[in-house]
Amino acid sequence: MSRSQRFQLGSSPGHRAWLVGLGLAWLILSCVASPLLAQGTSADFERSEQLRGLTANTVFRARVEPQWLGDDEFWYRVATAPSEWEFVRVNASEAARDLAFDHGQLAMALTETTGNPHAANALPLESLRWNESRLEFKAGDAWYRWDEATKQLEVIDAPAAAPEPTDNTDSRRGRRPRYSGPGRWGAQSPDGQWEASVRDHNVWLRRRDSGEEFALTTDGVAGEGYSERLIWAPDSSRAIAVKTREVETRRIHLIESSPSDQLQPKLHPLDYAKPGDELPQRTLALLLVDSRQSLTIDPSLYANQWSLSNYHWLPDSSRFLFEFNQRGHQVLRVIAVDGSTGEAATLLEEASPTFIDYAQKHFLRYVDATNELLWMSERSGWNHLYRFDSRTGQLLGAITQGDWVVKEVVEVDEQARTMLLKVVGFYPEQDPYYEHWVRVNWEGTELTALTQANGTHEVTFSPNGQWLIDRWSRVDSPPVHELRRVETGERVVELETADVSRLLATGWRMPERFVAAGRDGTTPIHGVIMRPTHFDPAQQWPVIEVIYAGPQGAFVPKAFSPFHYGQEMAELGFVIVRMDGMGTNWRSKAFHDVCWRNLGDSGFPDRIAWMQAAQRQYDYLNLDRVGIYGGSAGGQSALRALLAHGDFYKVAAADCGCHDNRMDKIWWNELWMGWPIGPHYEDQSNVTQAHRLEGDLLLSVGELDRNVDPASTLQVVDALIKADKDFELLFIPGGGHGAGESPYGQRRRREFFVEKILRHE
C-alpha cells in the first residue's frame, strides 16, 4: 500500500469512522486487559528471584537466646539493626530487664584502651562472665574486666577454662520422651553370667564362668530363625527371644543416566516395600534359663503384625509387656505375658474403624512404681491422654479432655506426677493450629496454661525449670518474647518485640489470615492469602494455590517469617493462597478421618469453598484460571485437581507426585489408605484417572528419587499419552525427591504459570 493509498484509506468519512471505532475498541480492550498484560514482566521475574534476598536480615529483636547465670538471672545479645546489637541482662525473680551495662561508656573505654574505634551498638564482646558489678569478657585476642560501678576497664589474663558462650537453656522442643524400662536387650545377661548366640537358627546360652553351653530353642529354621539379641529380665533368670519369618523385600531400580564420574549410566538398586507387600512376622518365646525351657507366647494375640515394640519387663521380672500394631493400623494392643508360664493376655486395646495415627498421635509410658500406664488415644474424638492400671488394664481416668488436641508429650515427671504438653486448639477463640504449652497432673484435676497470647508459641526453659521464655507470633504479627513463671504461667516481663520496619520498607506484605466454612458449611477452614509487593486492589489478580494435603500434618504457616514459600511466585502477578482442608491432621478425629481410603479428596471441596468465599470478600481475586502446584503428596494433589476438579482448577504443576498409592512407600500409604489393598486404591489413582485431564499440566520428576518411586510419574505420562492428552514433562537427570524445587525447576514452573495463566488467550 502506497503512502497516498494509506492517506486515502483514512480520508473518507466512512474510513474515518471505521478507524475511530477501531481506536475506541483498542482503548477499551487496553483498559480491560491491562491489569493482566502488565503482569508477568521481566521486572516481575527479577523481583521474584530477588525477594528472598531482599527480605533477608530485615527483622530485628526477633530472637532471644538466653545464657543463664544461675537459677534466676540470664543475659542475651539481641540484634537491633544490620551489624548492630545490644546486650541485655534479666533478673527473673525481680522482674527486671535492662541493658547489661553502659554500652556507651564501655565503648569509649575499649576505644581508649585498644586504640581502635568501638561503637556502642556493635561491641565485639564474647564469653561474658559476671562477678557482681564486674564484667569479664573477651574482645579480639584479649580479656578485659569492666567495673560497671566505677566505669573502669582493665586488661586481665585469660580466666581458667573460660567457656565460650553456649545456650544452656532447656528447650525441650521437639524432644519426645523415651522410656527405657528395666531389663536389657542384647546377647549378654544383666548380671553378666550368660551370653546368647545363634546356631542353626536357634538360641544357645553359654555360662561365661564355666563355659557350659546348651540350646534353649529348637524350632528355628532357615528363613525363620532366632536372633541372639534377647530381651533379658532384670534378674537374668529369663528372657524373651524373637524369631523372625523373613520375606523377600521388593527392590526397585533407579537409573542414573548422567553420572559425573563415568560416561555410561549407573543402576542403583533400592529396597523399597510398597503397599500390599508381604511383611516379616515375629514370634516371641519366653526362655527360662534355670529350667532350660522355651515357651512360645501365643502368636494369635499379635498375628498379622505391622510392628511389635515397647518391650518392657517389670522390675521384679514377674511380667513382660509389649505393644502390638496390627497391619492396617486399626488395632493397637498392649499385651502382658506371665514371666513364669508364658501365658499372654491383652491388657489394653485401642481400635478404630478407620485408622490409628500411630506415627503422630501415639504415646505409651509404663510407670512401674505405681503400676500405671500412660496412654494416648482419640477415643473421645480428640487426641488426649489417659491413665490405666498396668496390672488389670482398668481405665483410671482421663489426664486431658476437651475439644482440643494433645500434639506432643514433652516431658513426664513421675515424682511430681505431672506432664508437660504441647497442645493445639486449646483456646477456642484462636486459630486451632496454634501451638500452646500446658502442664497437667496425672489425675487431670490441675491443668496450667503456660502460654496465652493469640499466636503460635515456642518455649525454652531455664535449667532449673522454674522459668520459661515464650516466643510467640503469627504470620501477620512479629515475634514477641516474654519471660513467664512455670509454676503459674503468669507473665513476668516482656523481653523483646520484633522490629519489622526495615522489612516493611522493602514493600513486603504480610500474609493475611483468612477463615471460611468448608464443604459442610460450618467447619472453619484456616488459610493464608499472600499478595505481591506491587499489589494493586484495582487490578484483577489470578490465584495460585500452593498445596500439600498429606494427612500426617497441617501445612499452612502459622509463625511469622520475613519470607514464606510461595511469596516469590506472587511477585509474578498472582495472589497465592494456602489452606488446610479436611483430611489433614491436628483437628478432631472426624476432621482427620476424611482422608481414610480417600487421599484423592485432598480437601478440594473445602479448598474451593474457601477460595470462593475469599473472592466474595475481595473482588479483585480472579478465579477464572486458578493454578495449583505442589510436590510429593502435594504433587499427587496438584494433578488430582485437574483430573477431578478441572472445572475450577485450570493449570497445575506437579512435582515428584505419589500418583498411585500402590506405587509409593508402604508405611505412609497403608496408614491412610488401609490394608488390604482394595479397589479404592485403583479408583483414586491419578494413573487410572489420567484420561480425565482438563487444563494445562507440567509434570516434573527426578530420576533418582528415593522417596517416591519416579516410575509413579512416568506411569502417569504413559497413561496421558495413551489418552492423547497434551502436557509438559520436566525429567531431571540426577535429581532426587523435590527436584522440581531446584533453581532450574522453579524457573520452569514460574514461566509455565505466567505463560498458561497471564498470557493465556
585 vs 13: which has the higher pLDDT: 585
Q: Are 225 and 201 in contact (CB under 8 A)?
A: yes
Per-residue pLDDT band for 133 (boundaries 50, 70, 90) equals: confident
Judged by DSSP in three states, 443 sits in coil
For the chain, the residue count is: 761
Question: CB neighbours of 347 closer than 8 A, spacing ≥ 6?
Answer: 321, 333, 334, 335, 336, 373, 388, 390, 392, 393
End position of a domain, from candidates 301, 322, 352: 352
| CATH number of the domain that residue 189 is part of | 2.130.10.120
Domain coverage including residue 670: 505-758
Task: Judge contact between 231 and 311, C-beta under 8 A.
Answer: yes
Is it true that the peptide bond before 676 is cis, omega within 30 degrees of 0?
Answer: yes
Domain assignment present for 123: no
* Position 89 in a domain: no
- Residue 719 phi/psi, 5-degree rounding, is -65, -40
Alpha carbon separation from 362 to 146, 303, 385, 427 (Å, rounded): 53, 21, 10, 23
Q: Tell me how many domains the chain contains.
A: 2
Whole-number percent of the chain with pLDDT over 70? 92
Look at residue 46 and tell me if it is in a domain: no
**Secondary structure letter of residue 749 according to DSSP:** H
Residue 658 pLDDT > 60: yes
Residue 587: the pLDDT is 98
Which of 325, 352, 379 marks a domain boundary? Answer: 352
* Residue 362 is assigned to a structural domain of this protein: no
Of 3-7, 20-24, 421-425, least confident by mean pLDDT is 3-7
* Band of pLDDT at residue 3, cut at 50, 70 and 90: very low
Domain membership of residue 308 (yes or no) is: yes
What's at 465, amino acid-wise?
G
Does residue 20 carry a pLDDT above 60? no
Q: What is the model's pTM?
A: 0.91
Q: What whole-number percentage of the chain has pLDDT above 90?
A: 90
Mean per-residue pLDDT, 559-568: 97
| 200 falls within a domain | yes
- Out of 337, 352, 367, a domain closes at 352
- Does some domain include residue 441? no
In the predicted model, what is the mean pLDDT of residues 221-240? Answer: 97
Cβ-contact 705, 658 below 8 angstroms: no
Distances (CA, A) of 556 to 399, 551, 581, 585: 29, 13, 10, 12
**Does the structure show a pLDDT above 60 at 7?**
no
In the predicted model, what is the mean pLDDT of residues 646-672? Answer: 98
- Cα torsion 530, 531, 537, 540: sign: negative
Q: What is the Cα Rg of the chain in Å?
A: 32
Say whether pLDDT at 159 is over 90. Answer: no
CATH of the domain at 630: 3.40.50.1820
Contact (Cβ atoms closer than 8 angstroms) between residue 515 and residue 432: no
What is the C-alpha to C-alpha distance for residues 72 and 594, in angstroms, rounded to an integer?
Answer: 48
In a domain, 417, yes or no: no
Candidates 638, 574, 649, 584; CA nearest to 612 is 649
DSSP state of 158: P
**Which pLDDT belongs to residue 722?**
98
Mean pLDDT over each residue of the chain, to the nearest integer: 93
Give the H/E segment covering residue 410. Answer: strand 405-413
Q: What pLDDT is stored for residue 183 in this prediction?
A: 58
Q: How far apart are CA 325 and CA 210, in angstroms?
A: 41
Average pLDDT over residues 170-194: 67
Give the integer Cα–Cα distance in Å for 264 and 538: 57
- φ/ψ of 317, rounded to 5, equals 65, 15
576-617: per-residue pLDDT in tens?
999 999 999 999 999 999 999 999 999 999 999 999 999 999
